[in-house]
Structure 1
């Protein structure tokens, strides 16, 4: 494990400042309303943790669906929309001390009648909507209008804020803000700070360069040229280079601070063009990323009676009652129609079926392992059609050893955690990773490649198994990569026979995972805000009581 400060939340002075900040998160996803993975999870948990520490916090995301708990604010704003203008609205709810704001416009809401089923970026996995540039440029302009004029609890957030934009979809916000600072005299943005929080460098928002792109984005050509690059549209050496504009590149240039979701991933993105995805030199010139390890919710725990009831688990357990985990394993085996046998190690994979997660390598490794080893494997997820097809074929080929569940949703994953012995995570790269942290809470031992947040959270032979090396970064399966993963699986199978060793590792994993809290992460963010010189709104209000405004008094 890579030297992350995981001291208990109350044991460190980090983030113990009495200053109070207004924090605005801008994201294409915000859980639980819109979520495809880790991004939505962060936008769910981190804002709540900051609000609990006394800060005024707002999230802004598109309104993809008719969210039953969000109400129309009646605030309307006319914004530029290519060569014309359009009206956007704003829906709002106030939950767990966080203002949740949703930008309302047909370009988001009308994509799919009824629930969007996570089709936020395209009609199916790996296919983008043709007008994504128009959609998310509209969103960026609407965000700034909300910060400027949407009154919540009696007054808008205004200029005394730290804006945290997440990933390429929101990377135009710092660019528009720079433009408005120079041309919009109705608001002074002098005190506004802006940070870019990167969740996955591979997704950069690369689009074909066109001479009229400035008209569509409503930006002068000088800004467009700052975003221009000669790169493949899709990441990878096998794709041809061409003239593109790169949204993430523009966001990096115009933000005040670069943040990411784990310390090791921060280093990796600065070490070369492969994991830096051709932006490593720009990132280094900017001063690099500050890596703050993500957290997980305290309620995600096998001893939570609320979670056990909601997820319909067999019962609670903790590190002192690990023998109860066997009942959960039997329930999972029964649900997945696998032979009920406590002596057989059960491996699980939960996540996107794509190349980043190393699923292609994992499946080839399992083809080597399953014919000769006594074990069971459960794969849960959706993703690339070719990988989904391969997973389903393996389920037919090994009906007593392999199960594929494509439709597990919501709380179903907690039975997978509580009933599994090991988690397969052979990622080519992993900015942070959620499954290993949540799984460890339930006594699951992760098998991980030594990369990104996996390296920061798993200690070999103590809380899981770290593979001997990273796997091939390109989207090919090499014999060497396959062997790395297969050897790790066999090592876990052999270790499973040593009950005392496995129980000890489970207890270690559960103890460490308790420290993966959002409160810890929130305190590190607060320290970062202070170092950036974000305005202390308590001092500007003169209240002296730690409150920022009506929202924090309530």
Structure 2
């Protein structure tokens, strides 16, 4: 079978640049696809962290004037990833967050910055570089989506295209006056083009022009075609529902591997259920004690220890959890929170709770990779009370690490965790706890239910063992993407014939 070449376009890619789960996907999926005979080269912006990670580079395209100044397209390999890097210092040579100024405000030229990325992607797809001719162009989120508009308005034969929505809440909407600046023709400003409620919609354009659309979980694909879940794009997504597919994310099991994890004192094998009692329990107890010690919690092995890894935001449902802290503390539970960015007032509420209950509540602000691993390996349960969650990766890591997920019935959380009620209905094995509606009271109820189950040692071990037996790797998702690519290439060839 002929190898398929894919040009992936992404604003971030792990481990070179990461702000969220988008980078985890774009960094892990290309490597997983190698086993399927798919060659992926990813186009990323030349941020300082990306440029500093490159070894030997090859200049493949000189751009004398890319939206205001000179730029280069480089080819390189880093961390097993085949890359194209858009080295445009006037657009990307900025410290800190790729999207925000140091004061937390979006860079005012974000439209130009990511239009440039998309423009070069389209040039590559149309044969602009001799070293790589893609069969598929795969755009990730709004930052890459305009590439599909550039391809459409080129009026030239093009590769097949895929648009993946990682989070519909971020759409890349800019004033219509930017149309000429980003190099799109006047006729593109139309409802059957890039126009979106009187402005330019980058994501809307990608959804409109893509041959196929994917999201990061089957349930999220269902949610976003609704009026409420579509966030202004539900009508378009309903029209394109035949071309819409939810493919569940995976996790990089070479990074999230409790058998060799350098961040935890007690390593264990997640895929040896027969050794569960002697290996997993003993070493998870070591990790729990280490976590309690590091964060200043009471050294209580019998306490039900809850963990949270995420943003301080109402979308993540952390306002619901903070309302339940009196219940958590009152019933002898413990809570560790590793929270980044988000709502300042919500962060203050958690910090106040930690000050008021120093032996039971710990709050760490920012992201700490090592602490995230220790939390997964040491807590009894990981809580994700999100109001919206396209997929979520933390609950997948939790399953692998023996931390029982407690999640809301939304998006990918609903797809990846089996509650006792689900188990009864479909004959599956319980791997966690789910609650709905997403309210303070409902969350409080499931926390109490989980705590009671925790003290039923045999039942709790069974749930842990069930979760750890689940394959959360990229193997199955990569197979789905490979099949999608093959079907699109085959259809394109039939059209030409």
Do residues 265 (structure 1) and 220 (structure 2) align?
Answer: yes
Is the 1:166–1:198 contact (alpha carbons within 8 Å) kept by the matching residues of 2? yes
Is the 1:441–1:510 contact (alpha carbons within 8 Å) kept by the matching residues of 2? yes
Instruction: Give the distance between the partners of 1:486 and 1:132, measured in 2 at CA.
Output: 41
TM-score, L = length of structure 1: 0.80
1:466 maps to what in 2?
434
TM-score, L = length of structure 2: 0.89
Do residues 439 (structure 1) and 398 (structure 2) align?
Answer: yes
Structure 2 matches for 1:60-459, cutoff 5 A? 60-65=43-48, 66-78=51-63, 81-82=66-67, 86-95=69-78, 98-112=81-95, 116=96, 119-123=97-101, 127-147=105-125, 155-158=130-133, 160-182=134-156, 189-190=157-158, 192-207=159-174, 209-210=175-176, 212-225=177-190, 226-230=193-197, 243-270=198-225, 272-288=226-242, 289-305=244-260, 308=261, 310-318=262-270, 319=273, 320=276, 321-324=279-282, 325-366=284-325, 368-384=326-342, 385-459=344-418
Could you list the runs of 5+ residues in structure 1 that have no partner in the other structure? 1-17, 183-188, 231-242, 472-480, 538-554
Aligned length: 471
Q: Deviations over 1:165-210 (max 9, x none)?
A: 011111110001112235xxxxxx34x0111001011111122x34
More helix as a share of residues = 2
Is the 1:293–1:432 contact (alpha carbons within 8 Å) kept by the matching residues of 2? yes
Q: Deviations over 1:430-457 (max 9, x none)?
A: 1111000001101111111111111111
Is the 2:304–2:451 contact (alpha carbons within 8 Å) kept by the matching residues of 1? yes
For residue 148 of structure 1, report the CA deviation from its aligned partner: 5.0
Is the 2:252–2:473 contact (alpha carbons within 8 Å) kept by the matching residues of 1? yes
For residue 530 of structure 1, report the CA deviation from its aligned partner: 2.3
Q: Deviations over 1:385-421 (max 9, x none)?
A: 2222222122112111110112442233111111011
For residue 77 of structure 1, report the CA deviation from its aligned partner: 2.9
Would the alpha carbon gap of residues 64 and 274 (structure 1) be closer, same or farther in structure 2, given more than 3 Å must change?
Answer: same
Would the alpha carbon gap of residues 423 and 518 (structure 1) be closer, same or farther in structure 2, given more than 3 Å must change?
Answer: same
Do residues 525 (structure 1) and 453 (structure 2) align?
Answer: no
Instruction: Give the distance between the partners of 2:256 and 2:167, measured in 1 at CA.
Output: 27
Q: Secondary structure at 1:509's aligned position in 2?
A: helix
Could you list the runs of 5+ residues in structure 2 that have no partner in the other structure? 421-429
Is the 2:57–2:76 contact (alpha carbons within 8 Å) kept by the matching residues of 1? no
Instruction: Give the distance between the partners of 1:372 and 1:323, measured in 2 at CA.
Output: 27
Q: Secondary structure at 2:386's aligned position in 1?
A: coil
Would the alpha carbon gap of residues 488 and 442 (structure 1) be closer, same or farther in structure 2, given more than 3 Å must change?
Answer: same
Q: Secondary structure at 2:181's aligned position in 1?
A: helix
Higher normalized contact order (CA 8 Å, seq sep 6+, divided by chain length): 1
Structure 2 matches for 1:13-52, cutoff 5 A? 18-52=1-35
Would the alpha carbon gap of residues 136 and 418 (structure 1) be closer, same or farther in structure 2, given more than 3 Å must change?
Answer: same
Is the 1:75–1:150 contact (alpha carbons within 8 Å) kept by the matching residues of 2? no
Is the 1:300–1:438 contact (alpha carbons within 8 Å) kept by the matching residues of 2? no
Instruction: Give the distance between the partners of 2:454 and 2:181, measured in 1 at CA.
Output: 58
Is the 1:300–1:441 contact (alpha carbons within 8 Å) kept by the matching residues of 2? no
Q: Secondary structure at 1:293's aligned position in 2?
A: coil
Would the alpha carbon gap of residues 229 and 94 (structure 1) be closer, same or farther in structure 2, given more than 3 Å must change?
Answer: closer
Instruction: Give the distance between the partners of 2:171 and 2:245, measured in 1 at CA.
Output: 18
Q: Secondary structure at 2:179's aligned position in 1?
A: helix
Instruction: Give the distance between the partners of 2:88 and 2:115, measured in 1 at CA.
Output: 13
1:236 maps to what in 2?
none
Would the alpha carbon gap of residues 285 and 44 (structure 1) be closer, same or farther in structure 2, given more than 3 Å must change?
Answer: same
Q: Deviations over 1:16-60 (max 9, x none)?
A: xx3421011101111111111110000111100112322221011
Q: Secondary structure at 2:251's aligned position in 1?
A: coil
Q: Secondary structure at 1:67's aligned position in 2?
A: helix
Is the 1:428–1:470 contact (alpha carbons within 8 Å) kept by the matching residues of 2? no
Is the 1:63–1:102 contact (alpha carbons within 8 Å) kept by the matching residues of 2? yes
Instruction: Give the distance between the partners of 2:172 and 2:256, measured in 1 at CA.
Output: 36
Is the 2:135–2:489 contact (alpha carbons within 8 Å) kept by the matching residues of 1? no
Q: Secondary structure at 2:189's aligned position in 1?
A: helix
Q: Secondary structure at 2:155's aligned position in 1?
A: helix
Q: Secondary structure at 1:299's aligned position in 2?
A: coil
Is the 1:81–1:134 contact (alpha carbons within 8 Å) kept by the matching residues of 2? no
